[in-house]
Chain A
Amino acid sequence: MELLELHNITKCYPGVVALDNVSISFRQGEVHALVGENGAGKSTFIKTISGAVQPNEGKIVFDGVTYDHLTPQKSLELGISVVYQEMIQFEAMSVADNLFMSDGSDSGFFVNDAERCKKAAELLEKFQCHISPKTWIRELSMANRQIVEICKAILRNARVLILDEPTASITVEEQRRLFDVIRDLKKQGVTIIYISHRLDELFEICDRVTVLRDGQYVKTLDIKDTDKQGLIQLMVGRELSENYPVKDNPPGKEVVLKVENLCGNGVKNISFELHRGEILGFAGLVGAGRTETMLLLYGAAGIEAGTVTVNGNTLSVRSPSDAMKAGIGLIPEDRKWQGCFLDKPIYWNISIGNIKSLCSGPFIDRKKESEQADYYGARMRIKAPDFRVKAGSLSGGNQQKVVIAKSLASLPDILIFDEPTRGIDIGARYEIYQLMIELTKEGKSILMVSSDMEELLGMSERIVVLHEGEQTGTIEKPDFSQERVLTLASGIA
């Protein structure tokens, strides 16, 4: 039975058609995946369902009733809930308070805390989530915060639950638990709309999948009738020969970076060597200390013990500017908060790290600056109408290229890529992989932190594995396997 149908939805923003005549219908009790590259229109589509966006054309049919558009209130009333990737919660309040904030169950003037906690505990127990309802939200892991959001939806008697990139920042174990929760909800007849960049997991959990591309509806398929390659083909509209470009330049013998017994920032005794032209991967679960290690190397956190040697010189890195002087560049994990100045033009973003070298006297040489932007823009293949547009107006992939250009402009020898392709669509990913390999051909060396197992195995030449702040092993290319990495990452070996 069709529970929710969207017919001929069109949504235009000034200059952009975000959704172009899209029709999709969702059955009761199915897990329906929505996939597409960034900019394909997934988020506008969800917002149309949640009432945050009102379409220019089209209609929405819910349970037999037709609407021109929904408002956020109406959508909630109908039982449509969204769990966003960036959850909006009351951070300094308890789980119970978060759950019952707006359900209107309180009678009288005072809050019945005991009752709330009891109800909350029962609900959490259903999902094998053993946290105290009195815990503050801010103290919970991402995965548990998600469960709280899902519980909230259930309290509102959700009939449609939209999950936006639910597995982006949770561990494999937590993902398994989330899938149990999803299966449980499905049994109760809840319709789940599942959005993810990770195609593999769709085959595990979804019944049907709809592909969007450039704001247009492409196809709805039973998940059984397709495979990953088929989906990718539909998403990008062309056939990708391989997921990962071939790196045919073996790393040199020369050691460019040697780290010995590095401690601090929650990690201890990290030791490894990086060779010229090598891509060294860093694997581990969330919280294993990968990013923390990179921040230590980059001077953004204090080193407590250990030595860092670059090209034979022992360094004392106390700030990012020390690291940059030693030839280390960072492409940070969180593009929006740590990498990009979203309100500033592209050329401005590229030059901010080396602005001093673009000056003649005290003044910025505008010509040099725009030449630099043109050079790196062309090299990174940044797609933008003009390098004076704001970085925030670009797609995720192009923003990432701007961040890479910014790092390259300081002429680093060693580049740290922290989650290089998180939230970036497949076409742009491939380009970033190609760029990484080009860089190694120029004699640069790369440290790559990634939570994407395939990316790690596909791009790295060796992998260092961390577990809870300690190094549990290093894997050489011939021994690469998902099992081997996972075993070390979960600290079993």
Chain B
Amino acid sequence: MEQKTKRSVGQFISNFSMPILLLLLIVIFSILSDRFLTPLNLTNILVQNVHIAICATGVFMIMVSGGCDLSIGYQMSVAAVLVAKLLSNGVMGVFPAVMLGILICVALGCFNGVMSIVLNSPPMIVTLGTMAIFQGISFLISGSKTYHNLPKSFMFLGQGKVFGIPLNAIIALVVIVIVGIILSRTHVGRKIYAVGDNPEAAKLAGLNVAKIKIMVFTCAGILVGIAAVLLAARSGSADSNTGVGIEFTGIIACVLSGVALKGGEGTLWKAIVAVFILGVLSNGMQLINLGTYPQYIAKGVIMLVSLYLSNKTAKAA
């Protein structure tokens, strides 16, 4: 009996290592800077990271299914410039433009999925290729211009508040909860884990592995589209560099939270907490006057340390 409680304490710590780490960082930065623990700053951290959290959710789905997507940043870029161009030229209303932005990401995600199946190559390499294509598409749409003058109703999506809570955070919460329920409670979610865990066994268990993988890439496209819209709405402008590099933050957050690189393992809420760990870290470092470059180094170091830790726990098991 005693051993059981001992083990469950250990399990508790490993299960909640993400929130514990987050709290630890908050405590450290609160001590180091008196500007950190203020309602304004905390709200800032929240709204600056919601689109990353949504993207990370997409990255999470893809990684759990055994894939990887390096093109997410430029998918966002395509959607953001497309929506911003349509809106600033006044060609379309806000609703159809937003829908079109999400749809284009769905198409790009689907393209990624189909390509990785058709070419039968590691998705990391396939999406390295599609990333270049999407980059080209984005710059063709934007013509290297930055679009301002976006309608108020559009910017409300990213800057507005409902009952004092930022609207974009509410949207993110709803989206993430829905994906979380799909992954953990439905047969579709179960199959996504199965495909990532052991594609061969999944095939022989009667699952259509190719279909599931393409579906995951496509669904991740929806999330990327939403994230692109929220980011453009929050910053009130968009150019072809909008969203670029976000996939790395997403991948780092997933790895940090213990998503297996081979697929099949991971817990969504932990990955979301990991996004905010990275967010708090960069915000806090800024407040104590460590600039952007040390932040890059910190992110990289965290990634390497978490790889080390996950290998260690894998060996211990």
Residues of A within 8 A of B (CB): 298, 300, 319-321, 323-324, 330, 332, 337-344, 348, 351-353, 355-356, 358-359, 362-364, 406, 410
Q: Are A341 and B200 within 8 A (Cβ)?
A: no
B312 within 8 A of A: no
**Structural contact, A362 and B205, CB atoms closer than 8 A:** no
Q: How far is the CA of A338 from the CA of B206 in the complex (A)?
A: 12
Q: How far is the CB of B261 from chain A (nearest CB, A)?
A: 13
Whether B187 sits at the interface, judged by CB under 8 Å, is yes
Which of B194, B203, B264 contacts A320 (CB under 8 A)?
A: B203
Residue in chain A with minimal CB distance to B262: A343
Residues of B within 8 A of A341 (CB): 194, 197-198, 201, 264
Contact B191 A298 (CB under 8 A): no
Asked whether A362 lies within 8 Å of B186 as measured between CB atoms, the reply is yes
CB of B18, distance to nearest CB on chain A (Å): 20
With A320-B203, A337-B201 known as contacts, the answer to whether A359 contacts B186 (CB < 8 A) is yes
When the two chains form their complex, are residues B205 and A320 in contact, meaning their CB atoms are under 8 A apart? yes
Lowest 10 A-B CB distances belong to which pairs?
A321-B206, A355-B187, A353-B205, A324-B206, A320-B206, A362-B186, A341-B197, A363-B185, A338-B200, A356-B187
Asked whether any CB of chain A lies closer than 8 Å to the CB of B297, the reply is no
- How many Å lie between the Cα of A343 and that of B201 in the bound state? 12
Sample (29) of A-B pairs whose CB atoms are under 8 Å apart? A298-B204, A320-B204, A320-B205, A321-B208, A323-B206, A330-B204, A337-B198, A337-B200, A337-B201, A338-B200, A339-B204, A341-B197, A342-B198, A344-B193, A344-B194, A344-B264, A352-B190, A352-B194, A353-B205, A353-B206, A355-B190, A362-B186, A362-B188, A363-B185, A363-B186, A364-B186, A364-B187, A364-B190, A406-B205
Indicate if B207 sits at the interface (CB-CB under 8 A): yes
Interface residues of B (CB under 8 A from A): 182, 185-188, 190-191, 193-194, 197-198, 200-208, 260, 264-265
Q: Which residue of B lies closest to A321 (CB)?
A: B206
B178 to chain A, nearest CB (A): 11
Cα distance A321–B198 in the bound complex, in angstroms = 17
Provide the residues of chain A in CB contact with B193, threshold 8 Å: 344
A343 touches B187 (CB 8 A): no
A363 to B186, CA, bound (A): 4
Report the minimum CB–CB distance from B181 to chain A (whole Å). Answer: 8
Q: Which residue of A lies closest to B186 (CB)?
A: A362
Q: Kindly state the separation between the CA atoms of A352 and B205 in the bound complex, as whole angstroms.
A: 7
Instruction: Please report the C-alpha to C-alpha distance between residue A323 and residue B206 in the assembled complex, in whole angstroms.
Output: 8
A456 to B194, CA, bound (A): 33
A340 to B201 Cα, complex, angstroms:
6
What distance in Å separates the Cβ of B21 from its nearest Cβ neighbour in chain A?
24
**Which of A332, A353, A355, A410 has its CB near the most chain B CB atoms (within 10 A)?**
A355
- In whole angstroms, what is the CA distance A341 to B203 when docked? 12
Question: How far, in whole Å, are A344 and B187 apart by their CA atoms in the complex?
Answer: 15
In whole angstroms, how far apart are the Cα atoms of A103 and B281 in the complex?
Answer: 50
Other contacts beyond A344-B193, A352-B191: 19, CB < 8 A: A320-B204, A320-B205, A321-B206, A323-B206, A337-B198, A337-B200, A339-B204, A340-B201, A343-B260, A343-B264, A351-B190, A352-B190, A352-B194, A355-B190, A362-B186, A362-B187, A364-B185, A406-B205, A410-B206
User: What chain B residues lie within 8 Å of A406 (beta carbons)?
Assistant: 205
In Å, the complex CA distance between A359 and B182 comes to 13
User: Which residues does chain A contribute within 8 Å of B201, judged by CB atoms?
Assistant: 332, 337-341
Chain A CB within 10 Å — which of B198, B205, B260 has the most? B205
A300 and B203 contacting across the interface, CB-CB below 8 Å: yes
A455 CB, nearest partner CB in chain B, Å? 22
Name the residue on B nearest A392 (C-beta): B317
Which residues of the other chain, B, contact A319 by a CB distance below 8 angstroms? 206, 208
Shortest distance between the CB of A161 and any CB in chain B (Å)? 28
> Which residues on the A side are within 8 Å of B265 (C-beta)?
343
- CA A410 – CA B200 in complex, angstroms? 18
Which interface residue of A298, A339, A343 has the most chain B CB atoms within 10 A? A343
Q: Which residues of chain B are near A362, meaning CB under 8 Å?
A: 182, 185-188
